[in-house]
Structure 1
């Protein structure tokens, strides 16, 4: 996707004087993500990697994507003359901060240099120009890129091949050629297809699914599929997780590559709360799929978002506001990435109450509760009668007494207790002198 470049002096001053996130004392998002086996990344603008913007980018994200700096019109504005300044700056920053880099993008139908789109080329010439470009760029950063978006947005909305410069002249074969050139130039990098509006199961994602299957059958080195996820508030696809999973089952990795969630402005507290829930929902979908490599937000601050320029009246799409302060969406990401609470084995607790008492006799009730987070399968309650009491009759449990020691065990119908579930049994007994309550212990299991 095309991204907005921010150059205003007032904004630059704000960036340079902002201290960073209010929650800097918390565990960085990148560390939370790494602990869950995924990365959390952000697209960045090379010219802004200074001051507070750089502080947040370096501290919070484990992966960086150059927003524009690796696109063809940026790196080769004049044929045969390359300018790697912006791309080099992002890669160097990432390496200095222990971050991965997602290379974006080698072959795309947009942001192509004028000399290329304005030229008159045969199909063979165009194919050579493309593969030479892939070789030059991927080769320059060989061994330094984690993922390459090798081909970006190859499909039309109906799932067929987009009639782009590449598709119109070369057909689908250009995709395989680009991937093979990228593999030869940078063998260690993961190679991705990337597209938008493929997040849900539907015509376009079906087309992508079929395309990936065809490419894999041809031996094309497709390692992963990227889902851009430029979403609208409250519209996270219900089928997102299932869609990611079906691609993963083809044997490729998947990733959310350009996540933002836009809303109509102004962004009210209610809208920001919904956005928090939406970000969390996307993160959960990734965490639920074993081959989901990670999630990249398309710009972490609203001051660097492409949304307002392309969707007038909409914005507030990122986890940080324009002053680099974390929004509720930040908390939604952090809470979702927080270490999962391990299940607590079924544990029973017991309470004892005398419900009726008369001269020489009494009725008692024992209530059990499963205080764990997993089901309880069977239970035994034991106690010692403190004053010579004797059990004479019981119900809802098998109760035996030897001297002062009493044991009660479950029956078939009340052995299983779900998490937070409870059951009770009772008994009649005799007493003389006093009838103090016993201390009871409960043991799970059969």
Structure 2
């Protein structure tokens, strides 16, 4: 675990007082420590004192404080420095989180993990645990903040804790639109000549974008795609330019018994999708949570386990070589450490990235995790992990951010932008890999997807957006996350809104009459593939039809109008 120093969310609009009493721990006033011991110590991060926590017998025991002023109308930044004082032999560090327990006035309850950090050891010194969060929009009866996570027997110090309200970014939409206009589009310069006698008022030039360059994709249920409703297939082919097989490449599903892997079906499915012009991500080579490790692998240790994992990389990456653009290497490896623990190798993730690159040097390799953009509990450690992988030079290309939004909670554009800005400090491309929201109200769902897509498309580090499904009959959230529903694959309000963005607002279709546009004019177009048609007196001049691809560089199109 690398020491996290000085990672600060650039919340330019932070305002208001700290909701925590004695967050500087110069006294213990306001803090409670039930069933364990707390005392002031001069081992501190700032000021004169910090709080030492000892005598814990349960992982959930940690100092806490009542929050009488938590406002459901506000968004907050929470932060605290934490230092582990001892380690457990054979373990690579401890997990800690800042959590709040809320009881609402209707007596319902919720527990929110606000900020977390994995694998902190005593050698790391003080580590900053921080995030931004939005309070559920319900009337609050009581709220209590507490630290939890390190195993029983671990002693630690906390210091410099704060919960501060932040101002919402009311200009986010304008800023997003400005970026889209300036960076997702380029100039198309037209130079037009004509034969003598041509009536310029009868010349029409039609500029039509046929395909978008920016990746808008979806997770694909292989069984439904191959054997289910053909309208599901047709919708994918018509409306998405990228795809990812939802589960079919995962190790425990493709090889449930050693040596009994079925590669043919997913590989053929990928080939079919590519034949329809859809580029493919691949998800995932391994998943470092025990329940997702094949059962026949779980008893392995030492060199046998290492060799078996290596063979998995050789097998699957070689078979997808030339067919997929991306691989998620070790899924959610901020939240799972099965291979590292089993092999007692803290940097085994680095080895796995190296293996993948050795098999296919052309495929782009990704980290992929949750709680990093849609929520912010793991944003800071994800940045630290990205910087660690960059420093190790193990061919990490980009950061996958899953973006499964909390049920019935509106996405907050301020939170999204700040989390993206934090991760952008890694200097790596960001892909939204698993996007969905959850609400029965399809009009709210439309609003929420639009907000998210505008923030993502309008951020300089975001290279692509993948929905985690779109049809209620092939979606883990059913109709609550769907763009289309029913056997007829009928568009919902959310689907209509998303397609309006994809295929109308963010596509270019322009027409110019030569008599008004002049012989030289410029059209600003979204990046992608284009066709230009010229008509004179209603008839197409076929030899002046132009096709081209518009990218970040402007394009000049020469046209000669003749009879």
Mark yes or no: TM-score above 0.5: yes
Deviates more, 1:196-205 or 1:326-335: 196-205
Alignment counterpart, residue 409 of structure 2, candidates 227, 231, 234: 234
Q: Residue in 1 aligned with 2:499?
A: 334
Q: Residue in 1 aligned with 2:435?
A: 259
TM-fit CA distance, 1:100: 0.6
Alignment counterpart, residue 358 of structure 2, candidates 157, 170, 184: 184
CA distance in 2, matches of 1:64, 1:146: 10
CA distance in 2, matches of 1:221, 1:99: 25
Q: Residue in 1 aligned with 2:467?
A: 297
Structure with higher Rg: it is 1
Q: Deviations over 1:310-336 (max 9, x none)?
A: xxxxx5212111331111112222333
Partners of 1:47 and 1:86 within 8 A in 2: no
CA distance in 2, matches of 1:291, 1:155: 21
Task: Give me the TM-score of the superposition, normalised by structure 2.
Answer: 0.49
CA distance in 2, matches of 1:33, 1:207: 41
Where do 1:170-319 residues align within 5 Å? Answer: 170-200=344-374, 202-231=376-405, 232-237=407-412, 238-263=414-439, 267=440, 271-307=441-477, 315-319=479-483
Alignment counterpart, residue 101 of structure 1, candidates 275, 280, 289: 280
CA distance in 2, matches of 1:133, 1:191: 16
Alignment counterpart, residue 486 of structure 2, candidates 306, 310, 322: 322
CA distance in 2, matches of 1:333, 1:154: 31
Q: Deviations over 1:31-83 (max 9, x none)?
A: 98963x42111111112225111111111111111111100022222212321
Number of equivalent positions:
292
Partners of 1:241 and 1:285 within 8 A in 2: yes
Task: Give me the TM-score of the superposition, normalised by structure 1.
Answer: 0.61
TM-fit CA distance, 1:125: 2.8
Q: Deviations over 1:256-298 (max 9, x none)?
A: 11111112xxx2xxx2111111111111122122231211111
CA RMSD, 1 decimal? 2.4
TM-fit CA distance, 1:116: 0.9
TM-fit CA distance, 1:113: 2.0
CA distance in 1, matches of 2:253, 2:240: 24
Work out which structure has the larger RCO, using CA pairs closer than 8 Å and 6 or more positions apart in sequence. 2
Structure 2: where are the runs of 5+ without partners?
1-207, 509-563
Q: Residue in 2 aligned with 1:114?
A: 295
Partners of 1:148 and 1:192 within 8 A in 2: yes
Partners of 1:233 and 1:278 within 8 A in 2: no
Q: Residue in 1 aligned with 2:256?
A: 77
Local SS of the residue matching 1:215: helix
CA distance in 1, matches of 2:379, 2:209: 30
Q: Residue in 2 aligned with 1:9?
A: none
Deviates more, 1:138-147 or 1:200-209: 200-209
CA distance in 2, matches of 1:165, 1:121: 10
CA distance in 2, matches of 1:86, 1:40: 24
Where do 1:321-400 residues align within 5 Å? Answer: 321-323=485-487, 324-337=489-502, 338-339=504-505
Q: Deviations over 1:105-159 (max 9, x none)?
A: 0010243322112x2312x332222222112101111121111111111123xxx
Pair 226,33 (structure 1): closer, same or farther in 2 beyond 3 Å: farther
CA distance in 2, matches of 1:33, 1:178: 39
Partners of 1:254 and 1:293 within 8 A in 2: yes
Local SS of the residue matching 1:105: strand
CA distance in 2, matches of 1:48, 1:217: 42
Q: Residue in 2 aligned with 1:61?
A: 240
Deviates more, 1:215-224 or 1:104-113: 104-113
Are positions 1:133 and 2:302 aligned together?
no
Richer in helix (by share):
1
Richer in strand (by share):
2
Alignment counterpart, residue 222 of structure 2, candidates 30, 43, 46: 46
CA distance in 2, matches of 1:33, 1:169: 51
Structure 1: where are the runs of 5+ without partners?
1-30, 157-161, 309-314, 343-446
Pair 276,165 (structure 1): closer, same or farther in 2 beyond 3 Å: same
Q: Residue in 1 aligned with 2:333?
A: 154
